Structure 1
Amino acid sequence: MRVSSVTEVRLNLPHIELAAHLFGPEDGLPVIALHGWLDNANSFARLAPRLKGLRVLALDMAGHGHSGHRPLGAGYALWDYAHDVLHVAEQMGWQRFALLGHSMGAIVSVVLAGAMPERVTHLALIDGVIPPTAEHENAAERMGMALQAQLDLQGKRKPVYGSIDQAVQVRMKGLVAVSREAAELLAERGLMPVPGGYTWRTDSRLTLPSPLRLSSEQALSFARRVSCPAHLVVAADGMLGKHPELLERLPFSREQLPGGHHLHLNDEEGAALVADCFNRFFAIP
């Protein structure tokens, strides 16, 4: 299934220009959809058209897809994405809005909904929930590794693929494997032509390690401060299923569905299951 009615939009924020896809009726419930790491707005190409009564703005997050990259010297911290979302909401005229997030986008959603609970009406999460955590004893070592990685990145170049199909095949076998159809959708929005073939539009700085990580209690504090209805879809073969102890500590309702980490994008069946789940969630008064 391809998107039947979607509008391409550009959002000129004070500090960056972002691209997005807009789905659903103009009078629908405002929803800002945030994709996962190294993905783009096409992550929601199968899911968003199935959601009822929602005005879904699926962003290319900064550094991804057709959106701008952050200036030299800047980075891609989770709270910087949350800042972007607030500016997007201002431009759309949405004082209050729902968040729909997958993976990294789900983490950003929880950070924002916990930090500013008065702004968020619903929190719909797909196989992602809190920021990655680390023990405080390793903070200095992690900072050093991150600083060195920033220096080393200057001499690196992105891989160039001879054809779109070659890039799609590599994406299928990435850190998180996806179906061919999912890889094609992500490549459709994520690749750009360069001399010798194609490369990904994504900012190379997105691959850098985080210089700082929160403790478990700090990360969970965001989830605990969420005040709106929140529902988490756990992929049976995804990432969160490996952490049952974390799931038990979350104050959100949750549902496990068959499929991998990209279950909402990999095939029509997965998209339909996730849509059914969230249509029921958003329909609750």
Structure 2
Amino acid sequence: MSINFEEVRLRLPHIELAAHLYGPEDGRPVIALHGWLDNAASFARLAPKLSGLRIVALDFAGHGHSDHRPAGGSYAIWDYVHDVLQVAEQFGWQRFSLLGHSMGAIVSVLLAGAMPERVERLALIDGLMPYTGEADTAPGKLGEALRAQLTLAGKRKPVYAEFERAVKARMQGVGAVTYEAAELLAQRGLMPVPGGYTWRTDSRLTLPSPLRLTQAHAMAFVQALRCPSKLVLAEQGMLQAQPQLSELLSGLPLEVVRLAGGHHLHLDDEFGAQLVADCFKAFLQAS
């Protein structure tokens, strides 16, 4: 597929991130945030359908072509929030909208809840709140994370002799995707190494979280939203698997639209991308 975008690198005060720019420079500002272990190519089908918007589709730190965190650093969800805010600062955007998928949706909610004066609109795709943990599970979760950190140095990334093998592996990864979607993600996410190809992603991204927000913490961020917010819920997606989903969504300050498709419905095929675009185009362009 032919995609028109500009590849840029953003030198932030603490890290350098890569991004794809879509749309006119004077379009309404939108920062697009992908899911865990994905990259900016997550929006390759959707972004071109959202005309009139200036979309900055980021590679999160440790993903795609962005820098990895320094040695000894970690990938706490709130650190991504800081990164996104710094990206907005670099573009001089005091007000902007967020388009987030999965983990990118979670980061979007945290930023919009924490700094409502900066976020104009919130467009979420099959993601809302982080996995939570209560106080009594915290010691065990920290111990699990510490043990995983000790063994990380001895682990090696998989090497695929052929590009197609990596694509097929990604099809079965977190949030299973179509071959075409996996190919788009792999084109940006792979790098050549002796013996074939491996993923660019930082191995530390696979470590378990040492600390999780409680359910009360997570709900507080959603309830703190002050901007118009819209959630596309994939009928065969990952959110549907959460227990008591309807109860969770009831009373929250966001509009929910249910669409047929899997967790990556905005990327799996052109039809799904168009459905999501139809939900968000006028919404993100509104004053």
Identify the TM-score tier after normalising by the shorter chain: over 0.9
Deviation of 1:117 (Å): 0.7
User: Counterparts of 1:1-285 in structure 2 under 5 Å?
Assistant: 1-3=1-3, 5-242=4-241, 243-285=245-287
Contact 1:2–1:45 under 8 Å retained in 2: no
Cα separation, 1, equivalents of 2:113 and 2:54:
22
Task: State the distance in 1 between where 2:158 and 2:168 align.
Answer: 14
What is the rounded CA distance, in whole Å, between the counterparts of 2:2 and 2:218 in structure 1? 37
**Could you report, residue by residue, the CA deviation over 1:237-275 in whole angstroms, capped at 9, with x for unpaired residues?**
001123332222522111000000000000000000000
Consecutive unaligned residues of structure 2, counting only runs of 5 or more, are none
Q: Structure 1: how far apart are the matches of 2:250 and 2:142?
A: 31
In 1, distance between residues paired with 2:35 and 2:285? 25
Provide the secondary structure at the position in 2 that maps to 1:124.
strand
Q: Secondary structure at the match of 1:112?
A: helix
Q: Secondary structure at the match of 1:156?
A: coil
> 1: CA distance between counterparts of 2:64 and 2:119?
25
Contact 1:63 1:206 (C-alpha < 8 Å) held by counterparts: yes
Seq. identity, % = 68
By how many angstroms is 1:283 displaced?
A: 4.0
Matching residue's letter, 2:2: R
Count of residue pairs brought into register by the alignment: 284
Listed one character per residue, the Cα deviations across residues 157-204 of structure 1 (whole Å, up to 9, x for unaligned) are: 101000100000100111321000000000000000000000000000
Using the alignment, how far apart are the partners of 2:79 and 2:57 within structure 1?
Answer: 17
| Deviation >3 Å, runs of 4+ | none
Deviates more, 1:244-253 or 1:80-89: 244-253
RMSD: 1.0
TM-aligned CA deviation for residue 94 of structure 1: 0.8
Aligned AA for 2:8?
A: V
Looking at structure 2, the residues matched to 264 and 175 of structure 1 have their Cα atoms a distance apart, in angstroms, of 15
SS, match of residue 21 in structure 2:
strand
User: Aligned to 1:83, what secondary structure does the other structure show?
Assistant: helix
> Is the CA contact (8 Å cut-off) linking 1:26 and 1:55 kept in structure 2?
yes
Deviation at 1:52, TM superposition (A): 2.4
**CA distance in 1 between partners of 2:62 and 2:282 (Å):** 33
Amino acid across the alignment from 2:148: A
Kept in 2: contact 1:2–1:46 (CA 8 A):
no
Identify the range of structure 1 (89-98 vs 64-73) with the bigger mean alpha-carbon deviation: 89-98
1:7·1:21 contact (CA, 8 Å) conserved in 2? yes
